[in-house]
Chain A
Amino acid sequence: MLTLLVLVFPLAAGLVALVVPWRPWVGWVAAGADAVVLALGIALAVTTSRGHVQHSLGGAVRADALSAFMVLVIGAITTLAAIQSVRYLRIEREADRCTDRHASLYAVLVQVFVTCMLGAVLAANLGVLWVAVEATTIATTFLVGHRRTDGALEASWKYVVLCSVGIALAFLGTVLVYFAAIHPGGGPSVAHGVGTLNWTSLMAIAKHLDPNVMRLAMALLVLGYGTKVGLAPMHSWLPDAHSQAPAPVSALMSGVLLTVAFYALLRFKAIADAALGPAFPRTLLVVVGLASLLAAASLLIAQRDYKRMLAYSSIEHMGLLALGAAAGSTLAIAAVLLHILGHGLTKAVLFLTSGEIHQAEHTSEIATVGSLLARRPALGGIFGVGILAIVGFPPFSLFISEFTMFRAEADAGLWWVVVVALGCLCVIFAAMAGHSRRLLLGDPDDGTVAVATPRSVVAPLVTALVACAVIGVVAWPLQSLLHAAARVVAP
């Protein structure tokens, strides 16, 4: 029942936006629905962290602790983005850059997008999971192109073509897993039907799946879902899409969409681990993880655009998640999940702040903005603190999750990976600190007065950063949930 409500609320808000002409209250209804998702996510987390599994719709919708955790993350970040969306659309309407019809389209597509993500994490069937992830691409294409500039159109073309061909490989991988499941070697014979691709039935026969076919399948799945996660070398759509999309959409894409695709990889990795042993999936994830870190580090050095800087930082963090998953122990996966939450919150705050900066300064060039802290203290302050959080300073939770992931990697014998990764992190830290210094510090021109930012903008962003810091200091509200969720894919 709870699981079904999670899907119904955002969809209903989308329907309201579809039938009612655009008014700000429609946006607030959407934000309310997303907040309900957050509340339901907490309720789900409480029940599932004790080991209960929730079902509805005849078992098609299923929530274990891992799904519940993802619902929680999606709920928190979509609420943040939905609040900011209302303001984004108001300013665009006032500047006459978008019509009422376009604002409605935006509101509808965001809710469809959120519902698809929730559908992906709540799907019992891994085929349906693929359908939902692909549907997110369709819903977000027009959102990426919402500003309808040349750059936005180009970015949405690249986005939809690259992600569709990438995720097609994941479908082929899913089909091969299905093929292996209906021909288990020596194990119990399995009926050919809808249930075969269910998570529980796949996990039950995972040990008997043919290793040769599973190896091929896992490689295709890592490439396919990896495209959507933004892992190198399939990441080239990401900086364009994130820098061109409206800020709340970038926040949603970077904060949750990437990690929803990563969630799919975690599930399939658990099946591959049982069928193949941990070595093969680990090698794949280490390769794409390190490639992402190297790509992010090399492209961040000379970055001139603050939104693209944030986008490359997302590639970096997805690489860190891949390395954490490669370690594979329960502790490592718990840290991966904590990192998903911490990165999601912080990156959403950073993208939303960058959107405010862009709407106020009309440029995304770091050098052109300059001396932001003196001219817009609140925005500059939030951006600066967000950057500190994202590069891994304590007390924010990214520090503890990165530290734990590295420790788990070293325990798994991947100490050379840790060395390379730490080297990349140092380069990234230096690059991002330098860019942020130029963006935030410096003397403003004579006679400029500091502009205050409305409290309604500042409050949600500060709340999210404080939450991230609190989770970093006291993990207790999440500890049992993280442990239970990690046990789902790393027994």
Chain B
Amino acid sequence: MTLYLEVLEIAAGAVLVCAVVTLWRRDVRAIVTILAVQGVCLGIVAGDLAIHQRDLALGATALLVLAAKGLVVPLLLRRVLRKDPRSRETTPLVNIPASLVAAAALIVLSYVVSSKIIALDPSPATRLVPLGVATVLVGYFLLVTRQRTVSQIVGLLVVDNGIALVTFLVTSGVPLIVELGASLDVLLVVVVLQVLATSLGSRFGSFELDELTELHD
């Protein structure tokens, strides 16, 4: 029982730490590695819950998460990076110390937002929900303050990992059929984004989204 809780707390905490580290590091390759670590931590959360609840479907979901978020998605992102060596440094719109302060504020906000969820079912797992909500918010912050195509994909995936963490903590995962469909959707979105990022890169000569100014009113 205690081991279950310790593992759950450490792994869920690590998901949020990884999200904050993506804000802190500038090297996009390092950020992609952190994303892989985050995916593995998320898989551990699901696996831990599955063992604790003796839930076979949840165990299958855990393996799916480990394979998709820990391995396949980071590999796809590395392929984009390999095609354009210039995309390795991020150029944030908000500087890094300010980003970290913003992250701290977002974490406080997430505790406020989550209080209603915890009140409905104050189980040990549900108490960790603010970690997931904070990951979602940090992901959004990353998405709006970064200019490289790859950083935006990372932001999207951090949001998605945060939502997955909330899902595991509050409901021990959605029904398997929904989980399968949702994972497949995320995987396909990454493939689509990878293809688009590559063609944008070859077309505009860079992976800077600043240069996308064709369309406006």
Contact = CB atoms under 8 A, between A and B. Distances in A.
Contact of B171 (A142, A165, A178, A240): A178
A157 B166 CA distance: 27
A156 B196 contact: yes
A456 interface: no
Contact of A168 (B159, B171, B176, B212): B159
A374 to B, nearest CB: 29
B174 A127 contact: yes
A125 B215 contact: no
Nearest to A194: B175
A171 to B, nearest CB: 6
Interface in A140-177: 141-142, 145, 148, 150-151, 153-158, 160-161, 164-165, 168, 171-172, 174-176
Given A131-B182, A153-B199, A172-B163, A213 B177 contact: no
B111 interface: no
Contacts of A171: 163, 182
Contacts of B178: 125, 127-128, 130-131, 197
A179 B192 contact: no
Interface secondary structure of A, over-half rule: helix
A128 B179 CA distance: 9
B109 to A, nearest CB: 13
Given A153-B203, A197-B174, A212-B116, A165 B143 contact: yes
Interface residues of A, number: 55
Contacts of B71: none
Given A172-B136, A175-B167, A154 B185 contact: no
Contacts of B10: none
B75 interface: no
B170 interface: yes
A165 B163 contact: no
A138 B215 contact: no
B117 interface: yes
B120 interface: yes
A135 B159 CA distance: 18
A435 interface: no
11 contacts: A150-B203, A150-B214, A156-B196, A175-B171, A179-B121, A179-B170, A185-B120, A192-B171, A192-B172, A243-B215, A302-B217
